[in-house]
Structure 1
Amino acid sequence: MSYILGYDPDTLREQVDPVRCEGRLDEIGEQRSLPALLERVWLLKVLDRLDDALVLSEQSVRVARMAGTRKDLLRARILHATVLQVRGQLAAADQELTACAEEADGQGWAGIAAFAYQHRGKTRYDGEDYDAARTDFKRALFLRQESGAPDEQLESTLLAIDASERRRMRSSVAS
């Protein structure tokens, strides 16, 4: 079940029902499995509880490193980077997402690479580098199409491409 109701067309942030997200957070409780940790990180992030999300995302990376697969570790690192991005730590998020995207690309893991490129695009969008953001979103779209991603993922990427193009046009007119 998706907790995402849509995406803000200007910030590209997920729009969620906070009551449902809080309810899910309560359901998960203190479970320590990697999937539960990752879900808790995401829920805390979208609920804007960023300090808690950061601590838990660091823990999820450690758990994935010790007990998960390489794919698990990449997912945990990407999610950790998204928390950094929302906290405004754009350089650190960009660096981590670049490393994750390159590793996933090198392994041929299109779905994970698309996840990394999508979020690196959002990081660059937040940093007002709209050309680079657009390039990342287009790469994410290609990879998502290649991996047979669901329509909602394709739509979110198309929305991001449109937003970066609008912002790029606005910034070029303003300069």
Structure 2
Amino acid sequence: MSYILGYDPDTLREKVDPRRCTERLAEIGEQRSLPALLERVWLLKVLERLDEALVLSDQSVRVARMAGTRKDLLRARILHASVQQWRGAYAAAVQELTTCAAEAEGQEWSGIAAFAYQHRGKTHFDSGDYDLARSDFKRALFLRQDAGATDEQLESTLLAVDAADRRRAAAVVAS
């Protein structure tokens, strides 16, 4: 079940039902499997409980390193970087996402690379660098198309490209 109801066109953040997310968080409880940890991190992030999300995302990266696959580790690291982004630690998030994107592309894991570029684009977007954001969103779009992504994933990336274009245009008009 997807908890994402859409995306805010101004912030590019997920729109969620906080009640459903809180209920799901309670359902998961203290489960320690990697999928449960990653879901808990994401739920805490979208509920803006960022301190808890950061601690748990650190733990999920450690668990993925010890017991997961390379793909699991990349997903955990990308989620960790997205928590850093939401906390305003843009440089750290960009650095982590850049390494994740490069590794995923090197392994020809288009879907994971697209996920990393999409989040790096959101990080650039939040930091006000709309040219780099647009470039990352376009790369994510290409990779998602290559990976056979769902219409919903492609639509979220197109929304991001459009938002970056709007912000770039507004910045030009303002200067």
TM range (shorter): over 0.9
Q: Distance in 2 between matches of 1:28 and 1:12?
A: 26
User: What percent of counterpart residues are identical?
Assistant: 80
SS of 1:15's equivalent in the other structure is: strand
Q: Residue 153 of structure 1 aligns with which residue?
A: 153
Task: Point out 4+ residue stretches in structure 1 off by more than 3 angstroms.
Answer: none
Residue 8 of structure 1: aligned partner: 8
Q: CA RMSD in A?
A: 0.4
Tell me the distance in 2 between the aligned counterparts of 1:123 and 1:60: 21
Which SS does the other structure have where 1:2 is aligned? Answer: coil
How many pairs were matched up? 175
Give deviations 1:53-75, integer Å, cap 9, x for gaps: 00000000000000101000000
1:84 matched to which residue of 2?
84
2:45 corresponds to which letter in structure 1? K
Q: Per-residue deviation at 1:48?
A: 0.3
**1:7 Cα offset (Å):** 0.6
Q: Deviations over 1:78-120 (max 9, x none)?
A: 0000000000000000000000000001110000000000000
Query: Which whole-Å CA distance do the structure 2 matches of 1:157 and 1:127 have between them?
Result: 18
For structure 1, the residue ranges without an aligned partner over 5 or more in a row are none
SS at match of 1:9: coil
Distance 1:15 1:54 in 2: 20
User: So what's the TM-score if we normalise by structure 1?
Assistant: 0.99
**In 1, Cα distance between equivalents of 2:17 and 2:125:** 24
Aligned twin of 1:135: 135
Q: Which runs of 5 or more structure 2 residues have no equivalent in the other structure?
A: none
Q: Return the letter of the residue paired with 2:60.
A: S
